[in-house]
Amino acid sequence: MINAEATNKMNKTLRLILGDQLNSNHSWFSKTEDSVTYVMMEIRTETDYVQHHVQKVVGIFAAMRSFAAELKSNGHQLIYLQLNDENNFQSFEKNIQNLIETHPFTHFEYQLPDEFRVDETLKALCHSISITSSAVVSEHFYTNRNELGDFFQGKKMFLMENFYRAMRKKNGVLMEGDQPLTGQWNYDSDNRKKLPKDHKPTKPLVFDNNVSNILEEINKTNIKTIGIIDAENFVWPINRAQSLELLDFFATNCLPLFGSYQDAMMPNEWSLYHSRISFSMNIKLISPKEVIDRVIEEWKHRPNEIEFHQLEGFVRQIIGWREYMRGIYWNKMPDYAALNFFNNQADLPSWYWTGKTKMNCLKDAINQSLNYGYAHHIQRLMITGNFALLAGVHPNAIDAWYLGIYMDAFEWVEITNTRGMSQFADGGIVGTKPYVSSASYIDKMSHYCGSCFYKKNIKTGDKACPFNSLYWNFYDKNESKLASNPRIGMMYNVWRKMKNEDKTALLEQADYYLNNINEL
């Protein structure tokens, strides 16, 4: 016979919720159970694995606390360990071990984490504890961890476009039977416009959350952070309702011009027509399917106002790029984190941490990153990423910067974009060629160059734009690794045809800039 006490003991489950697993629609929460206790924890292993933006730490804690309050008000049992609690042992392993030792739990459960490091930690923890354990999926993504690997099995090239089309078909997104709704899959060529000079972009929706108490708690510790914060008017969404409001704002106000201007850049305009929904999505306050459904609904209601390419450009980012990057991560880790195709070794210029440079494009992109923990894709790829690659910075240093500074930065999507797409450190798994440019691309897509200290058309001398000589220096130094790439061959033809004295002057100029990089 099993007595009541024994039954109770048999059924005590401890479930861990990570700071980026705030998915209230997860099936875990569909019913309340006396036998289940959830645990959430603010811990130093997570605040300190990289130097994060202060807004990122505060934003995650604020969202975690709000999520915990919601679970409790729905009747769930929850243990919440705040950063400075006495009984907080500051790591997942130590806290879970302690809870198992001090409570009658008989089973431990977690949702599969998105980060390899945490995955390994939790697997090891499960081996070391005295109770049974299991893992469930996070019920957030369109794909599972291995789906991309299976899709490209045996293929040398992992082309995003092929994966994206398969995702559209599999999920019936903007499809008519097995054909794309409009007969055309790709509208990239419609989506590369510069903003007209006197265009005034839509003012971004920002929140005014008061997160001063969390900031105070962080300030009591020696956690090192980057950037600034207005803690009484914190601009980022910290709960599901605010995330849905931001999504609604995007669909109503920004979607009609999203595609056209998704690659455009303008000084002092930090958000333009972008959704800024990545933070909410990456911590799972909302799901990619909700985002996709909402924008398609908006387009269906306003077919005459929202051109199809604006919508497709957005859908592609989410069911294409986002899922693709996650798939690459799980297919290639842990080796991916050590790739350095060009064997780059330089330090990151010091002004990446301060924004103090005379280069207008970098000054703007870095300052808005310090101010908001946000820069849009082309600023990340073609301004900060482009310069770091041209300067030969070690991918570890670049990864650490991107992983720390952005609100939405989590390794699964950061490293694939940074080491892969931006730095070509994977030698061409994610991209078919390195994303580098001289001033001409930056000037074509932005309004940065006109008011810059440097001159976009000058290649050598005092006022020469550093991108110009560093660009040719990059190709020259990496010729043995790149010349056979069919997408780059043309550049080498131009380089080889250049007069020797011009080439020498460009390389000398690049050398000068590289030797004085912190003064640029």
Q: Choose the one of ligand DLZ, ligand SF4, ligand FAD, none that binds residue 421, judging by a C-beta under 5 to 8 angstroms depending on kind.
A: ligand FAD
Structure tokens at 134: 């299991």
- Binding region for ligand DLZ (CB under 6 A) out of 18-26, 179-187, 233-241, 311-319: 18-26
Determine if 414 is a binding residue for ligand DLZ (CB under 6 A): no
**Residue closer to ligand SF4 (CB basis): 360 or 417:** 360
Q: Which residues contact 449 (CB under 8 A, 6 or more apart)?
A: 360, 361, 439, 442, 443, 456, 465
- Number of residues in the chain: 520
Q: Which two tokens stand for residue 302?
A: 């306003």
**Among residues 321, 454, 471, 475, the one that binds ligand SF4 under rule CB under 6 A:** 454
The yes or no reply on residue 430 touching ligand FAD (CB under 6 A) is no
String marking each residue 228-267 x if it binds ligand FAD according to CB under 6 A: ----------------------------------x-----
Q: How far is the CB of 420 from ligand FAD (least distance, A)?
A: 9
CB 262 within 8 A of CB 191: yes
Residue type, 419: R
Distance in angstroms (rounded) separating the CA atoms of residues 403 and 407: 9
Place of tokens 């207008």: 360
| 3-state class (DSSP) for residue 331 | helix
**DSSP SS3 for 33:** coil
Residue in 46, 240, 21 with CA at minimum distance from that of residue 114: 21
Q: Tell me the angle at which helices 54-73 and 212-219 cross, rounded to the nearest 10 degrees.
A: 120
Which one of ligand DLZ, ligand SF4, ligand FAD, none interacts with residue 454, CB within 5 to 8 A by kind? ligand SF4
**Cα–Cα dist 99/121, whole Å:** 17
Task: Choose from ligand DLZ, ligand FAD, ligand SF4, none: what does 361 bind? Cβ within 5-8 Å by kind.
Answer: ligand SF4
User: Which residues have C-beta within 8 Å of that of residue 174, sequence separation ≥ 6?
Assistant: 168, 180, 181, 182, 296, 311, 312, 315
Smallest distance from ligand DLZ to CB 58, Å: 9
We find the least distance from the C-beta atom of residue 168 to ligand FAD, in angstroms, to be 15
List the one residue from 147, 269, 298, 408 that touches ligand FAD (CB under 6 A): 408
Q: Cα(17)–Cα(275) distance, rounded to whole angstroms?
A: 26
Residue 363 lies near ligand FAD (rule: CB under 6 A): no
Contacts to ligand SF4 from residues 464-483, by CB under 6 A: 465, 467
CA distances from 502 to 420, 460, 495, 499, 507 (A): 32, 9, 10, 5, 9
Using only C-alpha atoms, the chain has a radius of gyration, in whole angstroms, of: 24
For residues 38 and 71, the answer to whether their CB atoms sit within 8 Å is: yes
With respect to ligand FAD, which residue has the nearer C-beta, 15 or 240? 240
Nearer to ligand DLZ, 236 or 448 (CB): 236
Torsion sign, CA atoms 123, 125, 130, 132: negative
Q: Contact region for ligand DLZ (CB under 6 A) — 38-46, 180-188, 249-257, 386-394?
A: 38-46
* Residue of this chain nearest to ligand DLZ (CB atom): 19
* Near ligand FAD by CB under 6 A: residue from 111, 260, 282, 437: 282
Binding-site member from 65, 294, 316, 456 for ligand SF4 (CB under 6 A) = 456
Residue 399 Cβ vs ligand DLZ, minimum distance, rounded to whole Å: 14
Among 26, 53, 56, 276, the residue binding ligand FAD under the rule CB under 6 A is 276
Applying CB under 6 A, the site for ligand DLZ has a residue count of 16
CA quadruple 263, 295, 165, 257: dihedral positive or negative? Answer: negative
Q: Return the residue of 23, 26, 46, 180 that touches ligand DLZ, per CB under 6 A.
A: 46
359 interacts with, out of ligand DLZ, ligand SF4, ligand FAD, none, CB within 5 to 8 A per kind? ligand SF4
- The least CB distance from residue 444 to ligand SF4, in Å, is 10
Per 3-state DSSP, the chain is made up of helix, strand and coil in percentages (nearest 5) of: 50, 10, 40
Task: Candidates 89-97, 200-208, 314-322, 462-470: pick the segment binding ligand FAD (CB under 6 A).
Answer: 314-322
Q: In what order do the strands lie in the sheet with 77-81?
A: 77-81, 36-41, 13-16, 107-111, 132-136
Among the residue ranges 157-165, 318-326, 335-343, 346-354, the one whose residues contact ligand FAD (CB under 6 A): 318-326
* 439 interacts with, out of ligand FAD, ligand DLZ, ligand SF4, none, CB within 5 to 8 A per kind: ligand SF4
Q: Say if residue 145 is exposed, middle or buried (CB neighbours under 10 Å; 0-12, 13-18, 19+).
A: middle
Identify the three-state secondary structure at position 129. coil
Instruction: Return the one option of ligand SF4, ligand FAD, ligand DLZ, none that residue 277 interacts with (CB less than 5 to 8 A, by type).
Output: ligand FAD
- For ligand FAD, the binding residues (CB under 6 A) are 262, 274-278, 281-282, 317-318, 321-322, 325, 376-377, 380-381, 385, 402, 406, 408-409, 413-414, 417-418, 421-422
- For ligand DLZ, the binding residues (CB under 6 A) are 18-20, 41-43, 46-47, 52, 57, 60, 113-115, 118, 410
- For ligand SF4, the binding residues (CB under 6 A) are 359-361, 439, 442-443, 448-449, 452, 454, 456, 465, 467
